[in-house]
Structure 1
Amino acid sequence: MPKKKPEFRSQVLAEALEQQDMAAVAFALRNDRMVVPLVKPGQRDKPTDAGEVWTYKQPETGRLALLIFSDAANKPAALPPFVGLQDGAWLHTFLRTHGQDIETVFFDIAGPHPMQATPDEILRVLAL
């Protein structure tokens, strides 16, 4: 039987963002998946290497912003076309490794229900 293609969305995260509820976002991050933009396409059945995740470099500060999406359809077309699916364990590891360079984490930055948090806030909710 052929493998089912992954669905590049998280209904749980989308609903949490719609509610603008950080506790619900934390639950979604810990228990479901999220869509992240990639610099290049990932290999099927291989976790995304942290170096392949696309981050936005803020011109005024040089600091990075990590963009996370509840649905690949919410990713602005101006970003690289590639996406990967990740879970809370990956996000925790990514932020522990690269968090000192990341100023903010944006969720669904272009809508429909954007939210923003610091890496420390995300690490705190993932540690519970």
Structure 2
Amino acid sequence: MAGTPRRKKAPLDFRNPQLADALQTQDMAALAFALRHGPTVVPLMRPGQRDDPRDSGEVWTYRDPNTGDVALLLFSDAAHKPAALPPAVGLHSSAWLRAFLGAHGDEITTVFFDIAGPHPMQATPADVIAALDA
């Protein structure tokens, strides 16, 4: 249509307000609901290729140099990600999180939510999987 202004796509919103609310109240049932029904912000070592929907990027995990324990850090909002982490983030579904923890849950010892605040929380991979499967 000639002369019709093109609509700009709304920018992707890298947050999950329900997850933020659940973390604020430290409510496990609300956390489980938010994880099942909303996206999770995940720090990435390498962002996915825009032209390949199968490429979701390379997830960044933290390995404790003293113990070797591996932690997965998840965020309710990209604004809560500490600047010291890699700059790229991904916005992933509950199905992606379930598949990722299913594949790597034996290696990951802890899942941290909003580790730098404002309302941090942690769980085991098994607890997160149970919440996703509920």
Interval of TM-score (by shorter of Structure 1 and Structure 2): over 0.9
Residue 92, structure 1, aligned to residue 92, structure 2:
no
Which of the numbers 39, 49, 54 marks the counterpart of 1:33?
A: 39
3-state DSSP of counterpart to 2:106: helix
2:118 alignment partner in structure 1: 112
1:59 alignment partner in structure 2: 65
Q: Which amino acid aligns with 2:23?
A: L
Q: Which runs of 4+ in 1 moved over 4 A?
A: none
Give the TM-score normalised by the residue count of structure 2: 0.89
Pairwise CA RMSD: 1.3
Q: Report the number of matched residues.
A: 126
Following TM superposition, by how much is the alpha carbon of 1:61 offset from its aligned partner in structure 2, in angstroms?
Answer: 1.8
Mark the runs of 5 or more structure 2 residues left unpaired by the alignment. Answer: 1-6
Give the TM-score normalised by the residue count of structure 1: 0.93
2:26 alignment partner in structure 1: 20
Which of the numbers 97, 101, 125 marks the counterpart of 2:131?
A: 125
3-state DSSP of counterpart to 2:29: helix
Which of the numbers 3, 9, 12 marks the counterpart of 1:3?
A: 9
Query: Which one has a bigger Cα radius of gyration?
Result: 2
- 1: CA distance, partners of 2:50 / 2:41: 15
Deviation by residue 1:69-118 (Cα, 9 ceiling, x = unmatched): 00001000000000000111111000000000000000000000000000
- 1: CA distance, partners of 2:71 / 2:99: 16
1:48 alignment partner in structure 2: 56
